[in-house]
């Protein structure tokens, strides 16, 4: 077992051992499901074992969580914010260990792994302030001696199902807000990153225990489809937040819809960067490199389509190919590496199939296009010239593959940007105000994230994160995303002795 290796010794600081129970139920660790092995995608060697949750573990956890929710929702919101503040401090104390675990188990480079944990810390800080600003409103009533109020109350329990590419940050987007809004959290982490799920839960559990609060306020499960389906079907969970593919997200949506539950979907992206003829080319090239190669192309916000104005097409392409040649590929824990491995051997196989499909549809490989032989899941960063009408361009290939195409007018570029089923992120590089405001206006990008002169990825937590169309329509993190985690009541109070009716109705 790889756990004994010297470079894995830091895992003990996160509460991890060679074999770990994967269900945190009613304040205690257990696990009665299948035993799975967490592997390092850089070499596909074992890190440690995890005993996944069984359906009985799930049921016991949900019973305890339902009971704890009655306690948690009655604690004043600023007091709940104080608990989240302490969670942020616990994360700060383990920032580098947790970031290293993210890199080890997921495969993203170490600066990105640390950055992912920092994002949860930022979310904790944001949620603390939010806990004093869950404001309702007073609405003027048309009736004398009447008052109308808008009141927000907790939903009760929020189910969070996260994906491998951001194995803990997406939990942070959801859990920090859900907790200050008065909800308990039930989390199912990605099946292939169970150690991160356990380590994150350990930190949250420690804060709850220190404050003499029920451990069931935060319930977590390592597991696969069976646990995910149980969450989607469970009427005790008013809101299910799901991050993953559009295909699976649609199934989650339909399942939750059948029981009239709420859903929050963060699904596939097929993001484009448009470079106009007046753009700062050096800035654009640097941005495209990060957007297309970062996290080995496995972000939902990864730039997958590069649209270049015909007048600067070759100039940008030549510079981009030049910087791609300098990209260092290797162990994500090593300094100077920009491209780590894909997450699983299956991801590597999908890359191979994707390249075959690209070639069969007329795509021309300008650089890359091959796997890197060895024990890990490494592939070459790839740039492809291809028509925007090619069917493969409409799909999300979760790998560092960038499609390049040219255009003549902004109108044409916007049409290409909007022509795919997904609608997550987009960006334009230009200095002209008239183009910028066209781009962000009603006839511009149809995405949930519409950037100017920055990459498609690397969103700040202060804004609402999410997309349109097949991306699911959900919004997480900042702005008014918190409203999705609460139920709204309109309350009309009659403090007089008469009974005037609305709309002037006279009844009897």
DSSP E strands, 223-323: 239-243, 262-266, 271-275, 303-309
Q: What angle do CA 82, 237, 131 make, to 5 degrees?
A: 20
In sequence order, the β-bridge partners of residue 51 are: 21, 35
Q: 448 — phi, psi (to 5°)?
A: -75, -25
Look up tokens 């404001």; give the residue: 135
* C-beta separation of 80 from 180 below 8 A: yes
C-alpha dihedral (434, 430, 417, 309), degrees to nearest 10? 110
Q: Which residues neighbour 445 within 8 Å (Cβ) at sequence distance 6 or greater?
A: 414, 417, 418, 426, 428, 439
Task: Please identify which residue in the block is written with the tokens 């380590």.
Answer: 199
Structure tokens at 199: 């380590």
Q: How many angstroms separate the CA atoms of 351 and 271, rounded? A: 18
**Residue 436, both tokens:** 């910028």
DSSP states of 436-468 as a string? HHHHHSTTS--SSEEEESS-SS---TTSEE--E
List, in sequence order, every residue forming a beta bridge with 21; answer none if it has no partner: 51
Catalytic residue among 300, 396, 447, 476: 300
Structure tokens at 167: 């194995």
Q: Within 13 Å and on the Cβ side, how many CA atoms surround 201?
A: 31
202 included as an active-site residue: no
Collapsing DSSP to helix, strand or coil, 157 comes out as: strand
User: Residue 421 in contact with residue 471, Cβ under 8 Å?
Assistant: no
Set 266, 303, 447, 476: catalytic member? 266
Task: Identify whether the C-beta of residue 244 lies closer than 8 Å to the C-beta of residue 267.
Answer: yes
Q: Give yes or no: 266 in active site.
A: yes
Sheet bearing 28-30, strands edge to edge: 28-30, 23-25, 218-221, 184-188, 157-161, 239-243, 262-266
> CA dihedral in degrees (69, 74, 78, 84; nearest 10)?
-20
Active site positions, annotated: 266, 300
């Amino acid at each position: 077992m790889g756990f004994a290796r010297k470079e894995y010794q830091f895992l003990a600081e996160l509460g991890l051992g060679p074999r770990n129970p994967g269900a945190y139920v009613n304040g205690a660790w257990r696990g009665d499901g299948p035993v799975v092995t967490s592997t390092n995608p850089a070499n596909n060697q074992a890190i440690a074992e995890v005993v996944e949750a069984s359906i009985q573990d799930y049921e016991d956890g949900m019973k305890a969580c339902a009971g704890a929710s009655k306690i948690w929702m009655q604690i004043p919101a600023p007091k709940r914010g104080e608990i989240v503040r302490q969670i942020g401090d616990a994360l700060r104390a383990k920032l580098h260990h947790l970031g290293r675990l993210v890199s080890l188990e997921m495969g993203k480079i170490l600066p990105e792994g640390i950055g992912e944990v920092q994002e949860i810390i930022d979310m904790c800080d944001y949620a603390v302030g939010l806990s004093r600003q869950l404001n309702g409103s007073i609405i003027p009533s048309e009736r004398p001696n009447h008052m109308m109020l808008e009141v927000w109350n907790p939903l009760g329990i929020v189910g969070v199902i996260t994906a491998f590419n951001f194995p803990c940050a997406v939990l942070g987007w959801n859990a920090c807000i859900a907790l200050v809004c008065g909800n308990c959290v039930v989390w199912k982490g990605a099946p292939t990153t169970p150690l991160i799920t356990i380590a994150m839960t350990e930190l949250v559990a420690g804060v709850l225990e220190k404050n003499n609060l029920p451990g069931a306020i935060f319930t977590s499960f390592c597991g696969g489809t069976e646990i995910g389906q149980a969450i989607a079907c469970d009427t005790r969970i008013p809101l299910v937040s799901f991050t993953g593919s559009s295909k699976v997200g649609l199934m989650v949506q339909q399942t939750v819809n059948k029981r009239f539950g709420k859903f929050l979907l963060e699904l596939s992206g097929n993001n484009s960067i448009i470079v106009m003829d007046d753009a700062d080319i050096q800035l654009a090239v640097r941005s495209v490199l990060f957007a297309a190669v970062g996290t080995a192309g496995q972000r939902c916000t990864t730039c997958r389509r590069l649209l270049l104005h015909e007048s600067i097409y070759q100039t940008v392409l030549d510079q981009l190919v030049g910087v791609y040649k300098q990209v260092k590929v290797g162990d994500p824990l090593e300094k100077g590496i920009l491209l780590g491995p894909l997450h699983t051997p299956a991801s590597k196989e999908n890359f191979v199939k994707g390249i075959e499909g690209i070639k069969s549809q007329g795509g021309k490989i300008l650089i890359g296009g091959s796997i890197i032989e060895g024990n890990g899941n490494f592939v070459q960063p790839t740039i492809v010239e291809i028509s925007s009408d090619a069917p493969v361009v409409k799909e999300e290939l979760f790998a560092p593959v960038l499609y390049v195409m040219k255009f003549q007018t902004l109108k044409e570029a916007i049409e290409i940007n909007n022509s795919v089923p997904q609608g997550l992120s987009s960006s334009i590089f230009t200095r002209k105000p008239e183009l910028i405001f066209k781009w962000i206006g009603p006839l511009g990008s149809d995405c949930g994230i519409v950037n100017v002169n920055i990459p498609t990825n690397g969103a700040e937590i202060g804004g609402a994160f999410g997309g349109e169309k097949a991306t699911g329509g959900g919004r997480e993190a900042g702005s008014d995303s918190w409203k999705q985690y609460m139920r709204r009541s309109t309350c009309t109070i009659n403090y007089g002795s008469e009974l005037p009716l609305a709309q002037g109705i006279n009844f009897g």
